[in-house]
């Protein structure tokens, strides 16, 4: 058997060779064993703590606080973070040791320097913050890519949508049919904290007035003849915790306007034929191509509801007023639709030029539909202006069938780009000069400036009559 002296030597050897700061105190807190090489983190020399108690070191501010003193008081294991005079952060863990009679006779503590780990954690936190900032920038770029725009106007609208999507403010999207109001409504939802909840889109112009209330609010079983046996959940109820998008809000019947206003004010509703008040929580987004202020003046739309809806109005300009977006939309839709139908059709440069200057009264929706129609109905892989004009027969922008034949004669398959564009330019100037009374009207019709019209007319003097 080993004697007490050998046990002491082994214990001291274990403590002195440990990578951790190990300290053993007696029941009064006096330090019995420790490894002096680790006390540098406390900023003191070995002779400063030898023979002293942890209470004295705590009073001097060297141990702040003393974990051994805490164990002596609580008589249970303790783990804390300490801040030393040298600016170090250490994690200390201490355990009580009891004799056979249950009396506390020793405290063993272990200390690890956490300063570098904390620095790494801080650096990681800063890096994570940077990543989040980059992710926000990427989201904004991805938003631009998904919405397909290049113009300053659309860029500003996208920023506004991104900003207000983080709130629950009611947004009213304004603009002509086909400008993309529903796309922005969906984007509002996808960027909000409600993104994982339902997005319910309701076109107010497509629901018969007689069915509007039951469709919007639902109904209880047996409410009317033909009702479902167990009742039906309404569209408002389906939007609970999510987003309710009311498109064509100007078509909302007056009696439904009153009920919608009550829902917005009280945050509750009743099903048709029901007595129970249902609590509801949704974000409301509306859209219209009508002038609601004029409708209010005519008594066709409630003023109080208008104020409720018109919190953040967002005006989306028509495609003809943001010509920078036309080219990118044409290219995007060509790519998407070719991929959809496994085709590889292209626009002849002169066809492309005509589309760039088209008025697009139907906005983005018209452009999407036209590109799809051209790809599906064209037999040739290269779509020429004559085929385009045939597809748009009857529209003022492109003239009649005789014009189509004339344009076909002007353009040949092996025409170089410059020649083809000049032929189309002359043709369009000729059509505009016949239909318009002045160069100002021609400029408006062609979508270019009046000086440009004058300059081009001089360029083709004698060829455009």
Tens digits of pLDDT across the chain (465 residues): 556 666 667 766 676 666 667 888 888 888 888 777 667 777 777 666 767 888 888 888 877 788 888 989 889 998 888 777 777 777 888 899 998 888 899 898 888 777 766 776 677 667 767 766 666 555 554 444 457 788 899 999 999 999 999 999 999 999 999 999 999 999 999 999 999 999 999 999 888 887 888 888 888 875 554 555 567 888 999 999 999 999 999 999 998 999 999 999 999 988 888 888 889 999 999 999 999 999 999 999 999 999 999 999 999 999 999 988 998 999 999 999 999 899 999 998 878 888 888 889 899 999 999 999 889 888 888 888 777 766 664 444 444 444 544 555 455 444 555 666 677 777 777 777 877 888 888 877 776 788 888 888 888 776 665
Which of 286, 315, 344 is the C-terminal boundary of a domain?
Answer: 315
- Whether 32 and 87 map to the same domain: the answer is yes
- Whether 196 and 300 map to the same domain: the answer is yes
- Whether 280 and 421 map to the same domain: the answer is no
Q: Which residue has 């062609």 as its token pair?
A: 446
Q: How far is CA 325 from CA 69, 143, 196, 316, in A?
A: 73, 15, 31, 13
* Integer Cα distance of 156 and 386 in angstroms: 38
Enumerate the β-bridge partners of residue 244: 200, 284
Q: What is the dihedral of CA 439, 443, 444, 447, to 10 degrees?
A: 170
Which of 361, 393, 425 is the C-terminal boundary of a domain?
Answer: 393
List, in sequence order, the alpha helices (H) in 148-238.
Answer: 152-164, 181-190, 209-217, 235-238
Asked if residue 64 is part of any domain, the answer here is yes
Q: Which two tokens stand for residue 413?
A: 């398959």
My answer on whether omega of the bond before 265 falls inside 30° of 0, hence cis, is no
| Ordered DSSP codes for 397-446 | TT--HHHHHHHHHH--TT--HHHHHHHHHHHHHHHHHHH-SSHHHHHHHH
Which of 315, 341, 366 is the C-terminal boundary of a domain?
Answer: 315
Strand 312-315 with 199-203, pairing: unpaired
CATH at 156: 3.40.50.300
Asked if residue 388 is part of any domain, the answer here is yes
pLDDT at position 290 is: 94
Q: How big is the CA angle at 102 (ends 99 and 105), to the nearest 5 degrees?
A: 45
Q: How big is the CA angle at 419 (ends 413 and 425), to the nearest 5 degrees?
A: 110
Q: Which two tokens stand for residue 52?
A: 């002293």
* Integer Cα distance of 243 and 251 in angstroms: 20
- Whether 165 and 303 map to the same domain: the answer is yes
Asked if residue 7 is part of any domain, the answer here is no
Q: What is the dihedral of CA 266, 271, 277, 281, to 10 degrees?
A: -50
Asked if residue 400 is part of any domain, the answer here is no
The set of residues, in sequence order, having a beta carbon less than 8 Å from that of 177 and lying 6+ positions away, is 289, 362, 363, 365
The answer to whether the CB of 364 falls within 8 A of the CB of 180 is yes
The answer to whether the CB of 180 falls within 8 A of the CB of 151 is no
Q: What is the dihedral of CA 352, 355, 357, 363, to 10 degrees?
A: -150
- Whether 210 and 301 map to the same domain: the answer is yes
Q: Which residue has 């007035």 as its token pair?
A: 209
Provide the number of structural domains found in the chain.
4
What are the two backbone dihedrals, phi and then psi, of residue 59, each rounded to the nearest 5 degrees?
Answer: -65, -35
- Whether 306 and 160 map to the same domain: the answer is yes
Q: Which two tokens stand for residue 363?
A: 């906005």
- Whether 297 and 196 map to the same domain: the answer is yes
* Integer Cα distance of 220 and 223 in angstroms: 6
Strand 21-26 with 104-113, pairing: antiparallel
pLDDT at position 356 is: 87
Q: Which domain holds residue 332?
A: 319-393
* Integer Cα distance of 227 and 368 in angstroms: 40
The answer to whether the CB of 264 falls within 8 A of the CB of 310 is no
Asked if residue 147 is part of any domain, the answer here is no
CATH at 104: 3.30.450.20
Three-state DSSP state, 94: strand
Asked if residue 410 is part of any domain, the answer here is yes
- Whether 245 and 299 map to the same domain: the answer is yes
Closest CA to 90 of 64, 111, 70, 108: 111
Q: Which residue has 């339902």 as its token pair?
A: 198
- Whether 95 and 218 map to the same domain: the answer is no
Q: How far is CA 122 from CA 86, 125, 126, 129, 160, in A?
A: 19, 5, 6, 11, 33
* Integer Cα distance of 247 and 130 in angstroms: 38
pLDDT at position 37 is: 66
- Whether 306 and 371 map to the same domain: the answer is no
pTM of the model: 0.56
* Span between the terminal Cα atoms of the chain, in Å: 123
**Chain-centre distance of CA 301, in angstroms?**
32
CATH at 344: 1.10.8.60
- Whether 411 and 454 map to the same domain: the answer is yes
Asked if residue 213 is part of any domain, the answer here is yes
Q: Is the dihedral of CA 25, 30, 32, 34 positive or negative?
A: positive
The answer to whether the CB of 224 falls within 8 A of the CB of 215 is no
- Whether 296 and 381 map to the same domain: the answer is no
Asked if residue 365 is part of any domain, the answer here is yes
């Amino acid at each position: 058997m080993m004697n007490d002296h050998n046990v002491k030597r082994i214990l001291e050897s274990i403590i002195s060779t440990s990578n951790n700061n190990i300290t053993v105190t007696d029941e009064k807190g006096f330090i019995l064993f420790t490894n002096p090489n680790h006390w540098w983190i406390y900023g003191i020399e070995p002779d400063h703590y030898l023979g002293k108690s942890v209470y004295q070191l705590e009073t001097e501010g060297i141990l702040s606080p003393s974990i051994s003193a805490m164990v002596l008081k609580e008589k249970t294991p303790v783990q804390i973070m300490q801040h030393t005079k040298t600016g170090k952060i250490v994690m200390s863990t201490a355990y009580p040791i009891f004799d056979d009679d249950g009396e506390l006779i020793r405290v063993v503590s272990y200390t690890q320097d956490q300063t570098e780990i904390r620095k790494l954690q801080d650096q990681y936190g800063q890096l994570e913050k940077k990543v989040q900032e980059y992710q926000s920038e990427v989201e904004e770029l991805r938003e631009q890519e998904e919405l397909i725009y290049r113009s300053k106007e659309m860029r500003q609208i996208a920023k506004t949508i991104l900003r207000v999507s983080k709130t629950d403010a009611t947004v009213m999207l304004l603009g002509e049919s086909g400008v993309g109001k529903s796309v922005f409504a969906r984007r509002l939802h996808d960027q909000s904290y409600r993104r994982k909840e339902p997005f319910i889109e309701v076109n107010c112009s497509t629901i018969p007035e007689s069915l509007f209330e039951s469709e919007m609010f639902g109904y209880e079983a047996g409410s009317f003849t033909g009702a479902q046996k167990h009742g039906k959940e309404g569209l408002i109820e389906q939007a609970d915790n999510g987003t309710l998008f009311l498109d064509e809000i100007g078509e909302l019947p007056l009696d439904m306007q009153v009920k919608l206003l009550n829902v917005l004010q009280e945050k509750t509703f009743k099903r048709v034929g029901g007595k129970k008040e249902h609590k509801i929580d949704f974000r409301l987004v509306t859209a219209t191509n009508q002038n609601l202020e004029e409708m209010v003046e005519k008594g066709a739309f409630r003023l109080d509801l208008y104020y409720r809806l018109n919190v953040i109005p967002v005006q989306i300009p028509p495609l003809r007023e943001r010509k920078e977006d036309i080219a990118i939309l044409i290219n995007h839709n060509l790519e998407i639709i070719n991929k959809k139908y496994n085709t590889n059709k292209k626009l002849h440069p002169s066809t492309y030029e005509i589309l760039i200057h088209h008025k697009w009264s139907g906005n983005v929706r018209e452009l999407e539909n036209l590109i799809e129609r051209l790809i599906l109905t064209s037999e040739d892989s290269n779509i020429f202006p004559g085929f385009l004009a045939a597809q748009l027969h009857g529209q003022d922008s492109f003239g009649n069938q005789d014009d189509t034949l004339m344009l076909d004669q002007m353009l040949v398959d092996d025409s170089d780009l410059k020649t083809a564009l000049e032929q189309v330019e002359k043709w369009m100037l000729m059509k505009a000069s016949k239909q318009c009374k002045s160069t100002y009207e021609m400029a408006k019709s062609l979508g270019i400036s009046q000086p440009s019209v004058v300059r081009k007319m001089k360029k083709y003097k004698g060829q455009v009559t």
